[in-house]
Amino acid sequence: MKKLLLICLVLLLSGCVDKEILDDINIEVGVGYDLAEDPKDKYRGTILFQEFQPDKSVINRTFSGNGKLRQDLIIDVTRQSSEPVVTGGLKVAVFGPKISKLGIYDLIDSFQRDPSIGARVFVITSEDKAEDLLKGEYGTRGNSTYIYNLIQHNIEHRDIPKTNLHLAFRNYHERGRDMFLPRLKKIANDKVELIGISLFEKDKEVDILPLEDLFFFKLLVDKYSEGNFDVQLKKGDLAAIKSIKSTHKIKITDNHAAININIEGIVREYTGTKLTTAVVKDVEKKLEKKVERECLKLLKKFQELGVDPVGLGQIKKTQHRNFDYKKWEDDYKTLGFEVKCNVNIEETGIIE
C-alpha cells in the first residue's frame, strides 16, 4: 500500500514540473556587465545565447539591456527575445573595467542566490567592455565554451590558480583573504587572450598582475600539478622545465611569514651544447633564486596595495588562538617575509 501511495505521489509531483523544449527557449550561457551610460541605470548587461544548427555549427547571439539589478537585465532581455530566457546554462560571467573598479559584489551575490546557476561558473574581468568581449566569434563550439575552455586549460596546464564562482565568493567573505579573478582581452573578432589577474580589495579591483608574474603568483596561492617555466643560464643558454609540480607551506609568527616552496620538474629542452650534472645543478639554483626573489616582490606589492590574495590572515587564524582580525589589519602592514625555495630536477633524459 505504501509503495502504491509513493508511486502516485511521484506521478502527481512530476505533473507539476514545467516542461521546456530546448529548441523553444534561450539558454543564457554567458553574461557581461558594464557601467551604464544612462545615470538612472546602474548596469549595462549583455546576455549571450547559443543556437545549435543541424550541421552542428553554433550561432552566437547577444541581447543587451539596462537596469539596477540583475533581474532588471533579464526582464529587459526577455522583452527582446522571441523565446523564454532560462539561466541554467551559464558558464562565464564577465565584468568590464569600470564596473570592476566600482564593485561587483551585488552581481556575484545575485548569482549565488540563483539555484539554477552552478558554482563552477568562471567569473572574469575584461580589459575592454564586457559587451564587446562577448560579441566575438570564437572557435566552432560557441563563445562561452571557448572562453570557459581557455580559462580551464590555463588552470590545469598553465599559470592561473584555481578559480570559479564558489571560490571567488568564498575569498570575498573570508576575513584575512582577498579575491582575485582572471583578466581577458579581445585581440581580434575571433580571438581573446589571457593578459593577467585582477586583484581586489573587498569587491573593488585595485591592480592587475601581468602575465610575467603569474607563475610566481600561482606558486604562492595554489599548487602546480603540471606547469612550464624557462630558466636563463650563462652565455644565453635556456633550459625549459616541464611537468612542474609544486607545493608550499606558510608559517606565520607574530610579525613574520616564512614561506617554503618545493618544486619538482623535468628538463625537456636545453639550448646549450651538453646537459651535464653541473648544468642541472645550475638550473636548480637559478630557479630557486628567481622564485625567492619574485615571490618576495609580489608579497611586498600586495602589502603596499593593502590586499591579501595569498590569504595570510586566514592562515594565521588557523595557526594562532584568539586571533584578532582588527589587530591583523595593522600587523599586515609591517609583516616581514621570508621565501625559501627548493627545486629538484627529477629527470633530464641523457646527461653527458
Read off the pLDDT of residues 119-168 as tens digits, 9 standing for 90 and up: 999 999 999 999 999 999 999 999 999 999 999 999 999 999 999 999 99
Q: Would you state the cell numbers that stand for residue 111, as one nine-digit string?
A: 548569482
- Section 14-35 average pLDDT: 70
Instruction: Give me the helix-helix angle, 105-113 and 70-80, nearest 10°.
Output: 70
List every span in the chain annotated with CATH 3.30.300.210: 223-347
Query: Which of 268, 197, 196, 193 minimizes the C-alpha distance to 230?
Result: 268
Give yes or no for residue 350 having a pLDDT over 70.
no
Q: Residue 275 has what pLDDT?
A: 87
| Residue 221 φ/ψ, nearest 5 degrees | -105, -10
**pTM of the shown model:** 0.90
297 vs 302: CA distance, rounded Å: 9
120 vs 91: CA distance, rounded Å: 8
Q: Residue 1 has what pLDDT?
A: 56
298 vs 300: CA distance, rounded Å: 5
Residues of the chain above pLDDT 70, percent: 91
pLDDT band at 59 (very low <50, low <70, confident <90, very high): very high
Q: What is the pLDDT of residues 100-117, one digit of tens each?
A: 999 999 999 999 888 889
In this structure, which CATH number among 3.30.300.210, 3.40.30.10, 2.40.320.10, 3.30.70.100 belongs to the domain 223-347? 3.30.300.210
- Find the DSSP H helices in the chain: 2-14, 70-80, 97-102, 105-113, 130-134, 143-157, 165-173, 214-221, 277-305, 312-319, 325-333
